[in-house]
Amino acid sequence: MSDQLERLNRLPLRDNLRGLTPYGAPQIDVPIQLNVNENTHGVPADVQAAITQAVAEAAVGLNRYPDREFTELREALAEYLGHGLTADNIWAANGSNEVLQQILQAFGGPGRTALGFPPTYSMYPLLASGTDTEYLRGVRAGDYGLSAESAAAQVRELQPNIVFLCSPNNPTGTGLGLDVVEAVYEAGEDSQTVVIVDEAYHEFAHDGTPSALTLLPGRERLIVSRTMSKAFALAGARLGYMAAAPEVTDAIRLVRLPYHLSAITQATALAALRHREALMADVEDIKVQRDRIVDGLTRLGLKPAASDSNYVFFGGLENPHEIWRGLLDAGVLIRDVGIPGHLRVTAGTEAETTAFLEALESLLSRQAALPA
């Protein structure tokens, strides 16, 4: 046991936090970083200028607390989402992780449970532990799919207080049909289960892919979470948000910290929303590179999953960590998600995608040339 861990264990830490490790992907300074699903295109120059001006204007009033209700931002987010939503349906926080944490603070807690379907976003069990909510691990099919029948049966059996449905799913990138969301919601009627559909990557979905936002009317226990980290290239700004019935946003107000969204964050998000056309153009280019990765991996004899996100999950590797290490040595950082035979890569710029595919092809060729 390390000295640091020994010192930690001497503290009166909550029992359900003992033995856990913090969330975190490697932050390694290499030329091509394709491991945490960032928007590698960056913020366009005109949007940078708009954000800089908005932040400068906000800085004049930094001696005062910001609008606690961030009303203008909620109105702008409702307008962006559409579907007849208003500011009353919207809540936001410092990244979608904080939104999820606040939902767990309001509807989870001691004696309550949250159900996820691994492999899925690895923050779900950590957020549950942080709020003293028991995390239940559901099951998926062998191809990591999740059917409406299977998901609903597990909800009826386990009767969780909260269900996480990640769509597109992280790390697999596959979207869920709305039939799954509807079935899970109906199955949770008796247990009054709150259903969270995590749509952090929805803007990257193939054209015509419906959002769970269409299911919100009449479903007061349904929450759809989004983020500006990915499509809006604002991972460093930390702005996540959700859409739900107004009574749900009222419940979140009971647990949110006062003035939790800074004036700088609000100004940055508003400026980006006003200039979203340029940002969405980059999203379309990322989708092209994602599909190019799928085609390239297939050509190399690997097995990429169908992706509605800005990353590709792929299998068919005998030693994925060896490939991960080889790519890193070549200056390309992708993600080892700990699933046997698989890795995950973010869709970057055209040049980054080319570098990844060429480095991977070189590694696979060298492996094939080795004697058995």
- Distance between CA atoms of 168 and 189, rounded to whole angstroms? 24
pLDDT at 244 (0 to 100): 98
Using 50, 70 and 90 to split pLDDT, how confident is the model at 147? very high
pTM: 0.94
pLDDT at 171 over 60: yes
How high is the pLDDT of residue 370? Answer: 54
The answer to whether residue 75 scores a pLDDT higher than 90 is: yes
All structural domains of the chain with their residue ranges: 26-43+278-369, 45-274
CATH code for residues 26-43+278-369: 3.90.1150.10
Integer Cα distance of 126 and 13 in angstroms: 15
pLDDT tens digits, residue range 103-145? 999 999 999 999 999 999 999 999 999 999 999 999 999 999 9
The single-letter code of the amino acid at 137 is R
Per-residue CA distances from 302 to 134, 292, 298, 311 (Å)? 37, 14, 5, 15
At 24 the pLDDT is 72
pLDDT at 1 over 70: no
Residue 114 to residue 195: CA distance in whole angstroms: 10
- Give CATH for domain 45-274: 3.40.640.10
Average pLDDT over the chain reads 95
Tokens of 85: 């939503």
